[in-house]
Structure 1
């Protein structure tokens, strides 16, 4: 988790180029993502990580932060429901995971150890998404 050494830096610093300010009439989501890019990584909350991951922003920097949380609490409720951060993370494209295969392997092990009852409580289709992630090879095809 070498990327965690930069917790005092922002995504604008770590994932150049800096983004220009969004248009005044941009959506709330666009404004939110721009705002999150200007926060130090240490300030990003689970809900922020979920937003950044689902929007596929700076994944090499954001996924390690999410995995750090998910290794401790795989079904963490990051705003919407238990497991929402986990489902966002496993939906990240395979090339994003290719830069941190060790983290992907650790997350796969955690997912594989989840009790069936816990997975059954997740939204429809979640069990299949988790199964696909666990079965995914370490390198993109």
Structure 2
């Protein structure tokens, strides 16, 4: 969690190299991700973290910030629907979670405690994604 000590710094500073400005033909999503790399970590909101995590950008910084939020409110509606940040987090590659085994363990505990009714209210396939994350073999955690 020591990465959280750098909340006043940006991803461009912490995760080199700095990204150049996106091209004029870049999509809105590409422009958004480039913009988020220039925002201090402490100013990134849930929707920003969901975007970075979904695009697998600077996971070593975005993932701990997201988990900090998810431990308090696992089904947080970051932007699209209830639980969207959680689903983005559980779908990152196992290699990203390997950097934070304690955070993964804490998140698994929170997921196991979710009421069935709450999980049933998530989009189709979400329950299976959560089960897959919780059941991931120890060697891949």
| Fold shared by both chains (TM-score > 0.5) | yes
Superposition TM-score, scaled by structure 2 size: 0.97
- SS for the counterpart of 2:5 is helix
How far, CA to CA, are the matches of 1:109 and 1:137 in structure 2? Answer: 15
- SS for the counterpart of 1:82 is coil
Deviations 1:22-63 (A, max 9, x none): 101100000000000000000101000000000000001000
How far, CA to CA, are the matches of 1:77 and 1:26 in structure 2? Answer: 27
Q: Does 1:112 align with 2:95?
A: no
Shift of 1:137: 2.9
How far, CA to CA, are the matches of 1:11 and 1:139 in structure 2? Answer: 29
Shift of 1:139: 3.9
**How do residues 78-117 of structure 1 correspond to structure 2 at under 5 angstroms?**
78-117=78-117
1:134 alignment counterpart: 134
How far, CA to CA, are the matches of 1:138 and 1:102 in structure 2? Answer: 12
The answer to whether the 8 A contact 1:8-1:41 is kept is yes
Shift of 1:140: 2.7
Count of residue correspondences: 141
Provide the alpha-carbon RMSD of the alignment.
1.0
Unaligned runs of at least 5 residues, structure 2: none
Runs (4+) off by over 4 Å? none
Shift of 1:138: 4.2
The answer to whether the 8 A contact 1:77-1:83 is kept is yes
How far, CA to CA, are the matches of 2:59 and 2:22 in structure 1? Answer: 20
